Structure 1
Amino acid sequence: MVDVVDLLVAGFFSSTITYICYTVYAPKWNWTLRYSGHSGEFNSDTKAAVKDTKEESSWYQLLRCSVPKHWFWQFYAYGLGIVAFIWYSPWSSWREHSRLLAALLPDWKATQLMKEDIGTRIAVTIFTVHVLQRLIESLRFRRGSARILLCQYIFGFAFYTAIPFSLFGHASSKKSTSALNVVTGTIISVFGCIWQGACHEYLISKKHCKGYVPLTGSGFRWLKGAHFFGEWVIYLGFAFLVPHWQSCLAFVSVFFSMLNIATSYAATQDKYSPEHTHRRIVVPFIY
């Protein structure tokens, strides 16, 4: 039986995929998807794109609002809190005491199924380590001038609400993860974490450089959006560890998101370092 939480998770990822696929070809809105790592370009591009629409409604004004990019750390702290909430909450007792909660909450036997499924345990552990690593990195790397759109900021909280629930979804299906899936998923997701961590360490080492610095170290030797590739690999591993429709839908959502962000990010790199335009953007040997 599909509960309300499952429907909300599916709705979030499906709407994300649909919005990205539509907005990429809609000049009126595609500025909301652009990479916002460089504040000057971000502000000028955003204002120009919105000005061309001939719409200056309060809704557009709200979308034009931005917040400091170093607020990213709040996503990761929030994500860790959601994981702890799901893992330790007494779901069964809540469902037994209220018909409303019984209809809303997932049918998880006091998280027992989560703790028994090896794939779920490994996926949750790797996700927790990944988010904790990102939290530490975001606190270390603070560039005051960089900003992100308010809508992107809100999306971050929605994303780190849906992802933990998608990882726990397989446990409620009462099906155990196969050994092949566990081994494959663990190798892939751990590789993704290590790859992305190395890329972020390289970026952090450049944080004191003034102006734009061509990225030629770590994974950036092969890919322009090397750190986005790492994110994609991590969630591919989760799709193996948690072979459930929610985790697969989450992977597709992350894939389209990273593809879009990396494409925008690569355009910024090409502008300042045209000698590296031969490198792939986010998928080795393909794109």
Structure 2
Amino acid sequence: MSALALLLRLLYAALTAVAAAFALAPWTREAFVRYGKTRPPQTRHPAPAAALRWFASRTVPKNWFSHFYYVGAGLGALLLSDVGRWPWIGPGSGTHSAPWGLVPRLAALLGDQREAFASTPSAHAILALAMYNAHVLVRLKESVFDQPATDAKMHIGQYAVGLLFYTATPLALVVDAYDSPRPRPLLAWMAPAGMAVFAYASLHQWRCHRILFGLRRRSLSAPRQTGLYAIPSGDLFTQVSSPHFFCEILLYASIWIATGCQSTSVLWVVLWTAVNLGITARETHRWYRETFGDAYPRSRRALIPFVW
């Protein structure tokens, strides 16, 4: 395993552990986990020390989510333009003939030998990166042009974690392709299956986002309305409270499937996404039930249809 791959996996393991730990204590859950409509007023942050209470109150606009997608789209496109040209360089040309060789260069900074990255990335790794780029570009377009601007906040720590995630993930999608020059033979159905799951999740996430954006626009256009939020309905909202989170997990799982289920680094990405969004989905589900009471459909699960 290269030092770069190890660093990326440790990063996702650390983020997953911290998110799970923060979700356990009431004050860390309120201060650092909840955001947007589920985030309580700053006066309710019961941090045990003044310095922690100050840090817990440091927020940025939730609309800054678009920054994540700018970073992810930019770095993802740069990496794709790099590794996507490698199959056309010719046999035996090695990393030094690559256009930039970004991953080998980063690995060399961590002490890895460039010769260990002499193999060209597989077509499955390039496919995984292309799928990621398509997803991030859609989210960038939605966050910039479709999502209504609000006064919702998120903690500055969540903002930093988001920037870190969208910086690390494009690298995680391809690092194992260099790290395993002789991967196990891939089953022929894996790439088509991954793309099929990706298409399903992308379509339903787009539909669910349209439903949420439509509700938000209607509430913003009616300032005299008693409530700022309404119960979403339609598509996968008939089954779960956060179907867009469920689709996000499916999207990253589909990318892992497209790699032939062989990339351990991508599997860590899936694990972090599932834990992080699972915690957020639980808070969102709880908020819906507390806000709307008996009017909220009791048959809806939090995240996974018919399960949880």
SS at structure 1 position matched to 2:303: coil
SS at structure 2 position matched to 1:278: coil
Change over 3 Å in CA distance of 1:85–1:105 after alignment to 2:
farther
1:119 aligns with 2:160: no
Instruction: Kindly indicate whether the alpha-carbon contact (under 8 Å) linking 1:13 and 1:250 is maintained by their aligned counterparts in 2.
Output: yes
Deviations 1:57-108 (A, max 9, x none): 1x54234211111111111011011113333459933799999537258754
Output the TM-score relative to the length of structure 2. Answer: 0.81
Instruction: Kindly indicate whether the alpha-carbon contact (under 8 Å) linking 1:68 and 1:145 is maintained by their aligned counterparts in 2.
Output: yes
1:220 aligns with 2:227: no
Change over 3 Å in CA distance of 1:27–1:99 after alignment to 2:
closer
Moved more, 218-227 or 59-68: 59-68
| Aligned partner of 1:78 among 71, 74, 80 | 71
Moved more, 232-241 or 62-71: 62-71
Task: Supply the AA of the counterpart residue of 1:67.
Answer: V
SS at structure 2 position matched to 1:148: strand
User: 1:72 & 1:261 partners in 2: Cα distance?
Assistant: 15
- 1:232 CA displacement: 0.8
Paired residues, what number? 276
| Aligned partner of 1:92 among 91, 95, 98 | 95
Instruction: Kindly indicate whether the alpha-carbon contact (under 8 Å) linking 1:33 and 1:261 is maintained by their aligned counterparts in 2.
Output: no
> 1:15-30 counterparts in 2 under 5 A?
15-30=14-29
| Aligned partner of 2:217 among 208, 228, 231 | 208
Larger radius of gyration: 2
User: 1:87 & 1:99 partners in 2: Cα distance?
Assistant: 17
User: Which 5+ residue runs of structure 2 have no aligned equivalent?
Assistant: 84-93, 220-227
Output the TM-score relative to the length of structure 1. Answer: 0.86
Instruction: Kindly indicate whether the alpha-carbon contact (under 8 Å) linking 1:212 and 1:272 is maintained by their aligned counterparts in 2.
Output: no
* Structure 1 equivalent of residue 274 of structure 2: 255
| Aligned partner of 1:55 among 49, 52, 68 | 49
User: 1:123 & 1:99 partners in 2: Cα distance?
Assistant: 20
* Structure 2 equivalent of residue 163 of structure 1: 169
| Aligned partner of 2:142 among 112, 137, 145 | 137
CA RMSD of aligned residues (A): 2.6
- 1:226 CA displacement: 0.8
Change over 3 Å in CA distance of 1:32–1:10 after alignment to 2:
farther
User: 1:56 & 1:169 partners in 2: Cα distance?
Assistant: 42
User: Which 5+ residue runs of structure 1 have no aligned equivalent?
Assistant: none
Moved more, 61-70 or 192-201: 61-70
SS at structure 2 position matched to 1:67: strand
Task: Supply the AA of the counterpart residue of 1:223.
Answer: V
- 1:120 CA displacement: 1.6
* Structure 1 equivalent of residue 205 of structure 2: 196
Task: Supply the AA of the counterpart residue of 2:49.
Answer: E
Change over 3 Å in CA distance of 1:7–1:47 after alignment to 2:
farther
1:42 aligns with 2:39: yes
* Structure 2 equivalent of residue 2 of structure 1: 2
User: 2:105 & 2:277 partners in 1: Cα distance?
Assistant: 42
- 1:171 CA displacement: 1.4
Task: Supply the AA of the counterpart residue of 2:14.
Answer: S
